[in-house]
Amino acid sequence: MRLPHWTDRSRDRPVRRPPDLLHTPEDMPGAVQGIGLALQQIALQSVYWLLPALMGAAFGMDPAGMASLVALALIGSALAAALQALPRGPIGSGFGMPNVPTPILLGSYLFCASIGATLGAAGAALMLAAAAALVLLIAMPRLLSLIPPELTGLVVFMIGVSLLSRGVELMTHDVRRGIPEAQLVAVFAVSLLAIVGASTWRGVLARFALIVGGLAGTAVSLALMPLDPAALAAIEAAPWLGAPSLVPAEFGGVTPAMFLAFLIAVVCTLPDWLGDMTLYQRASDASWTKPDTAPMRRGIVAGILGLILAGGIGSFGPSTSSACVGLGVATRSLSRGVALIGAGILVLLALSPKLIALVVLVPGPVAAAMVMYVSAFMATSGATLMASRVLDVRRTCAVGLGLLGGLLSLLSPDLLARHLPAALVSPVTLAFTIGFLLHLLTLPGVTRRLAETITLNEGTPPAVDRFVESAAGALGLRRQTADAVRHALLETLEVLEARGATEVELRLGIADDVVRALVLHPGAPLPMPALRPQAEDLEGSLEAQEAFAMWLAARDAVACQPRAGRGTSSVAFEFRD
């Protein structure tokens, strides 16, 4: 079986080191500096360690069980980061990107708990959904282009809103112990204000805002409220060293509804992975002009395999941390060695149940403040993504009706449960399903295509100009996009005319801001664009000359794919308008 072309690392685009970058992905800082940088990343990762505890509570676990789930989540995050950083082979982007338990999967876990499924069955559902997503990604290379940014933003926003109910539950949980609500609200307010104050402070405290808020809130909690005897007993009983208990996958307990819930969540993580890898790639290459898709595809495969491994051991599904990537860009340190050091520290933490218990058994109002802080960032990030493009009537309907469906699921879950499949009652799942279906159903209405046959002679450039100008007016292309298309077509037709071709067919279409230009021509397919073009190629072999010319043609394109056919070959270009 022949592997896809993107698995060949020798075809990766060469990078040029930015002059102000402290550590490239290949650099390894000294031990002290590396540990310090890794601890900063871990401080950001700790924000999400509460999610496995929330999942464990939903499945009815005791404090020891929740602590074990947090430990498994740390191991799962470490494994996923190590897969992502692999510098050789067909898996892994080679980027140093720490992983965290992703909030995108929280809704799927809570749905499984609500229908009485076991945690092992939830892990099996995650494994099956991730494997299905991997098959879809390989079989449908254009799958990612079918999920526009506004739908990704819809999912992120609904996850943030869904966390509100969990925050309220955490804040009011201690009412059962007879603690007055006023004291709980006071602890919550102090914690949240400390987190916000530290995060907006111009200094080192901003990187450790969650820790500062947690310590401040815990101090006030100890002053106002008696300690929870159950929590104290759990901390005292937890040993300093010990391995977490694995949760074997139970495939027999997976239902179609569980599989669908996890499949939608996994698909929704793909745009987030692409965004994080694009940011990392751009920061590490001074000559960056557009994403190099080959490392990103390997990175997505690594991420999906990380989810499969997590499901197999009962770990909360991990994903790349946008906050950690942003911190690496801000500190100008993108070493994958730092990410690996951090992964090692996570494994060591996972082997200390007492330290994990201290993280999990924080006072309820303090944990609520942390959840609200994460919820606020997710909601605003989702809103920013939803508004990242101009929302015409079609996109407004897809996003708006999806948003209303998700909110309706929060307000009236019982009503929807009587009329919809159980998997769709989740706010995140229902919002994405409505938005995605409307997006797909209305997409043909905005798909427009033009075609023209061009004779290759001295009149070719004016003919291409007329075709592109006509298409730009009919399709509403931006001037920059039209110029990029014209340049690609002219360079390609020059190569074909040199081969002796006399006539070609040009096709141009646009669908949801993706412009596709297709050149149908006789004879053998054109070569892939040169990965490392050099001036000497112009005097080299015919294949080297054509590869250089195709590099010029595809310089402003997002993708270029020559294909062979029966008697007629083609080359397809993609542009973002």
In the chain, domain spans: 5-384, 390-446, 447-576
State the Cα–Cα distance between residues 342 and 406, nearest whole angstrom. Answer: 36
State the Cα–Cα distance between residues 318 and 102, nearest whole angstrom. Answer: 5
Residue with tokens 């298309």: 485
Give the pLDDT of residue 205: 65
Kindly report the backbone phi and psi dihedral angles of residue 571, in degrees, each rounded to the nearest multiple of 5, phi listed first: -140, 130
Query: Is residue 76 a contact partner of residue 313, using CB atoms and an 8 Å limit?
Result: yes
State the Cα–Cα distance between residues 288 and 516, nearest whole angstrom. Answer: 22
Give the pLDDT of residue 175: 75
State the Cα–Cα distance between residues 388 and 373, nearest whole angstrom. Answer: 23
Give the pLDDT of residue 1: 55
State the Cα–Cα distance between residues 197 and 193, nearest whole angstrom. Answer: 6
Give the pLDDT of residue 165: 77
Closest-CA residue to 366 (of 167, 152, 124, 571): 167
State the Cα–Cα distance between residues 495 and 484, nearest whole angstrom. Answer: 17
Q: Who contacts 377 (Cβ-Cβ below 8 Å, separation ≥6)?
A: 160
Q: Are strands 514-522 and 318-320 parallel, antiparallel or unpaired?
A: unpaired
Instruction: Report pTM.
Output: 0.69
Other CB atoms within 10 A of residue 480 CB: 11
Give the pLDDT of residue 82: 96
Residue with tokens 């998700």: 406
Give the Å distances, CA to CA, from 177 to 181, 187, 227, 358, 361: 11, 16, 10, 20, 15
Q: Rounded to an integer, what is the distance from CA 317 to the centroid of its chain?
A: 12
State the Cα–Cα distance between residues 432 and 438, nearest whole angstrom. Answer: 10
The H or E element containing residue 549 is helix 542-553
* pLDDT by 10-residue block (mean), the chain, 577 residues: 75 83 86 82 76 87 85 95 93 92 84 90 96 86 71 78 78 77 88 85 65 84 78 76 90 91 84 78 79 85 95 93 76 87 93 78 79 77 74 84 90 83 74 87 76 88 90 76 90 91 90 84 89 78 88 87 85 86
Is 368 in a helix, a strand, or coil?
helix
Superfamily of domain 447-576: Histidine kinase-like ATPase, C-terminal domain (3.30.565.10)
Give the pLDDT of residue 447: 61
Query: Is residue 187 a contact partner of residue 221, using CB atoms and an 8 Å limit?
Result: yes
